[in-house]
Structure 1
């Protein structure tokens, strides 16, 4: 017998895991129980000297008693005597109860929810009394419900969690179609919707008193359910028709004495899945071709650059090649993804590895931090921005490369994100700038950066002397801040990487 807790106030006593998990799994699956009972289901947990409604579900097969939610409402034990008796005795209680707020009597069945031989909650099935004679379908549904009720009271439902449980995107409902199997796995009842689903799958004639295999359906799911005493699922395809089978074994004293099979026609869902896969493959193929075309253009420009004798023209061509390569990096990553966003860090790392504009020197580039995944449109703009800032540092920060007694030329690229605020910082230890610069008034590269950051990304950019402590500190710091939604938040910063440019030049 369970003693009612003497809590000082009417606060819900929430069970601890895994007891809590047992109740969560019951609530996940109890929509079908509500359908089978044709009544409202309420889950009561002890609260003070009474009980609090923790969860509620309405039937899809009948009319609800409660138009407003009962979740969070409290009742004294004397006002819910069936709940009180079920909690204290651990037995199923039932009868009629006058509900004052409804002004009518309702038929109540109170089921103790047992976990590890302890009653941890009470589930009630509540419906308006009826004097009509139920039909065969209603009687069968209610009989199935009573079998689940016995399992709940015995602690056999919901089923214990397993290592290979499949997470259902949508738990089964009675409207999907039901087959009832006996202890030998033969069909003893088939709902009209189940018969229709089987007919669409090419099953002709009656399936009564037959095994599913005799009807031409694979019986793997039912065999597994009978053997493991656990729910199983399987999809059966017959031409363009796909039927999802969800099998719930019926237990009595830990022995399987039947099963309920829910049949759901998922043909349209699977066709949509195939269309999405085809669309995804097409988009990735387009990204791949765009990347190839950009690389072709880049190669043609390189060939053209080799025929140019004028240094300024050659430099302009090489910078154009670098910009095209930065865009190609984005499309290369998109061609390998099954989504329309990419990791910004991967883009930056790839851009750094392609830097080869200056000859005869060794510049060490250190990349740290991460910025999560960004949408493809923002990724392209950010790729060009990062490319231009790094290239600007390599072009202008180290005019005396190769001379002795100079410190190691360094460029630091830092990525950072807080919520939707993304920051990219490029710092060098070169000759530096005396004061803050206006990017829009600089060369072509900085003009491109300013335009992309302020107009396309609606962000800000600052370029000025390198900041820090220590005498003789030199260098330039460029910082870009933009608002870009992180489509996959929660990632941690990657460890710092040092990416040396061993060969800078064409």
Structure 2
């Protein structure tokens, strides 16, 4: 069975499942009937997986002598600027009824949009009904002209000026409208200021738009009815939207330009990028400095030291490695400006290295996330890394004397507003929690850095350490799964 056009477009542009596509295909079969019944244009749009725009995957047109669409728009991109109702319904799952929109061919239509849902009530597409706006409307009170060319704008957008209130005067975007000969016939206040800033001409009304703003020539070179491009002019970054305006006989009436100054936005983006680069460089330096300290300690160990000092050097090296692991994971993030650390991946990295380095023991390390993914800030991650290091080291040192084999379990739980980390072994256990520098480090980090609680649980065999700390903007659980008490 060959794929339909709808199926091909969905597989090419979207992440929809096979069952989602089947639902859309069944809906598409009804479009011709509704188009004839309502004398309207019917479409199905789906969100694209990468661009954030929508794509038309199906259409049905009524049999009318004058069509608003001269060509099929299946496969065309739907920009939010011109059809906001479509994107609104995709985002919110709500209907958008009788809103104005601009078609792919630059014509004004009245549009109603209804979301299409799958069996899980997820929005997988939108059903759109469009009717071309009629030429006669009831007359409304005339509104005062604030900027030049308001009547010309009304004539270009509709058959009578009174059909549309001139709201562009209130917008920050630059609105410019030309006639068919590219003479400037309308500019809102932002547009007037922009032209005077870019051109010293005093009289701009009815002047050639290319004389006033030569950079628009590259936009006009594109023959599409609706075209959007970002251009750089005189140290400014501009987003320019071009819409060709046609009469009902498909005669070109003029061109609408909507220009947005993105200079400040792009400048801030560059500043953020630079900040991200600087932060990443700092992380690199911290990691490298920690590795240098570790190298110096190893050098000292090779040069010789008292036998009773060996364990202290090894403990210090493991603590340095634990902190360094945090920065390695931050630097491995795809986005340089993110310093979130996956706590479970960090624990795997630290625990596995400690166990593998202890060649004298046969101990299995079992890490169980229990369906949770816990992200922490770098600051919290350093504390948790040291805690994990100390507790696993304690088990390796004291739970399995001689060559006794065993298991160390590390479990993560989520209970209401708390994250919990449990580390327990099946070793010989301990009569009581004797004082040690490692346990003091753990206690101080849990209480002071994590605002949590640290305790040992009574178990029949082995040792069971439990840590609980509250969730916060710096500690977030994803894919949360509530676990029953042990």
Same topology, TM > 0.5 = yes
Partners of 2:455 and 2:279 in 1: how far apart?
36
Aligned to 1:410: 407
Partners of 2:243 and 2:348 in 1: how far apart?
51
- Counting matched residue pairs gives 368
Q: Give 1:110-121 correspondences, 5 Å limit.
A: 113=111
Partners of 2:366 and 2:306 in 1: how far apart?
33
User: Which stretch shifts more, 335-344 or 180-189?
Assistant: 180-189
Structure 1 unpaired stretches of 5+: 3-16, 31-42, 46-53, 56-91, 93-110, 153-170, 467-472, 495-506
Aligned with residue 242 of structure 1, among 233, 237, 242: 237
Aligned to 1:136: 148
Q: C-alpha displacement at 1:143, in angstroms?
A: 4.0
Residues 1:130 and 1:483: Cα distance change in structure 2 (over 3 Å): same
Partners of 1:310 and 1:254 in 2: how far apart?
97
Q: What is the DSSP-based 3-state SS (H/G/I as helix, E as strand, rest coil) of the residue aligned with 2:358?
A: coil
- Over residues 320-372 of structure 1, what are the superposed CA-to-partner deviations in whole Å (9 max), with x where a residue is unaligned? 11111111111222334322322222322221233155332332212221443
Q: C-alpha displacement at 1:150, in angstroms?
A: 13
Do the aligned partners of 2:231 and 2:239 also contact (CA within 8 Å) in 1? yes
Q: Give 1:91-170 correspondences, 5 Å limit.
A: 113=111, 129-130=141-142, 136-143=148-155, 146=158
Q: C-alpha displacement at 1:251, in angstroms?
A: 5.6
Q: C-alpha displacement at 1:375, in angstroms?
A: 1.4
Partners of 2:396 and 2:83 in 1: how far apart?
59
- Over residues 214-269 of structure 1, what are the superposed CA-to-partner deviations in whole Å (9 max), with x where a residue is unaligned? 8034635x555x52x44x43221135321222334546669694542211222222
Q: 1:282 aligned to 2:278? A: yes
Do the aligned partners of 1:181 and 1:259 also contact (CA within 8 Å) in 2? yes
Tell me: higher relative CO, structure 1 or 2? Use CA pairs within 8 A at least 6 residues apart: 1
- Over residues 99-147 of structure 1, what are the superposed CA-to-partner deviations in whole Å (9 max), with x where a residue is unaligned? xxxxxxxxxxxx954565577x9xxx99983586776333244445538
User: Which stretch shifts more, 186-195 or 456-465?
Assistant: 186-195
Q: Give 1:37-436 correspondences, 5 Å limit.
A: 113=111, 129-130=141-142, 136-143=148-155, 146=158, 174-182=171-179, 188-198=185-195, 200=197, 208-211=207-210, 215-217=214-216, 219-220=218-219, 226-227=223-224, 229-230=225-226, 232-250=227-245, 257=252, 258-336=254-332, 337-355=336-354, 358-369=358-369, 370-401=372-403, 409-417=406-414, 420-433=417-430
Q: C-alpha displacement at 1:291, in angstroms?
A: 0.7
Aligned to 1:460: 453
Partners of 2:251 and 2:413 in 1: how far apart?
56
Partners of 2:394 and 2:479 in 1: how far apart?
29
Structure 2 unpaired stretches of 5+: 1-33, 35-43, 47-53, 57-78, 86-94, 100-107, 114-127, 482-486
